[in-house]
Amino acid sequence: MVNVGLLILRLTIGGLMAGHGAQKLFGWFGGYGVEGTGGWLESMGLRPGKLWAWLAGGSEFGGGVLTALGFLNPLGPLGILGSMAMASATAHRGKPIWVTAGGPELPVVNIAAVTAIALAGSGTYSLDEAMGTELPRWTFPAGAAVALATVAFAVGRQSEQAQIPEEEAGGELAGGTEAQHPV
């Protein structure tokens, strides 16, 4: 039953995160694509916005696909962890925890779920099991450290960018307001 539980968790979290990334990368499922997402990220001080849009969309889409398939665990969960940590530290920062108040409730749940998958392994019903692939155990803590260091760098840079007057940053920012764009 544990392996069925891991399969359900992987398919749900992985599938939804792949879809979330597809919104950012391709504009699928009502998303804004790289251009719109990049403009929104720039409006939050993440520059260059298009680069951050590719990174966010790529880690969500790629991480979601790898997680759903149970392939190369823990690389998929690490991609999702990085993106959700970034969302918590930027778009949801300073808000109460609950999603109804714009807080990081859902990213925190996603982080917990992918951490559990990374630590438990992909399970019997996975490509890792079928192909006999197994990454070293140290991959998850090392990858999590890199992901969190990247988030810290981006948040620090975002704070620096917020101090630059709009005229010096290149004029009017594209993408509308952050309240109008979902993470």
Looking at residue 165, its pLDDT comes to 53
Residue 65: which domain range?
2-180
Q: What is the pTM (predicted TM-score) of this model?
A: 0.86
Nearest 5°: CA angle at 150, between 170 and 45?
25
| Residues 150-153: contacts with CB under 8 Å, at least 24 apart | 150/82, 150/86, 151/82, 151/85, 151/86, 151/89
Q: Estimate the crossing angle of helix 75-89 against helix 105-120, to 10 degrees.
A: 160
Q: Judge whether 133 and 127 are in contact, CB under 8 Å.
A: yes
Looking at residue 164, its pLDDT comes to 60
Count structural domains, the chain.
1
Total Cβ atoms within 10 A of residue 111: 21
For residues 13-46, one letter each, b for 16 or more C-beta atoms within 10 angstroms of the residue's C-beta and e for the rest, the string is: bbebbbebbbbbbeeeeebbbbebbbbbbbbbbb
Looking at residue 66, its pLDDT comes to 98
Looking at residue 154, its pLDDT comes to 86
Splitting the chain (183 residues) into consecutive groups of 10 residues, what average pLDDT does each group show?
97 98 97 96 91 96 98 98 95 93 96 97 97 96 95 83 56 44 55
Looking at residue 182, its pLDDT comes to 54
Looking at residue 160, its pLDDT comes to 74
3-state helix, strand, coil in the chain (%, to 5): 70, 0, 30
Looking at residue 120, its pLDDT comes to 96
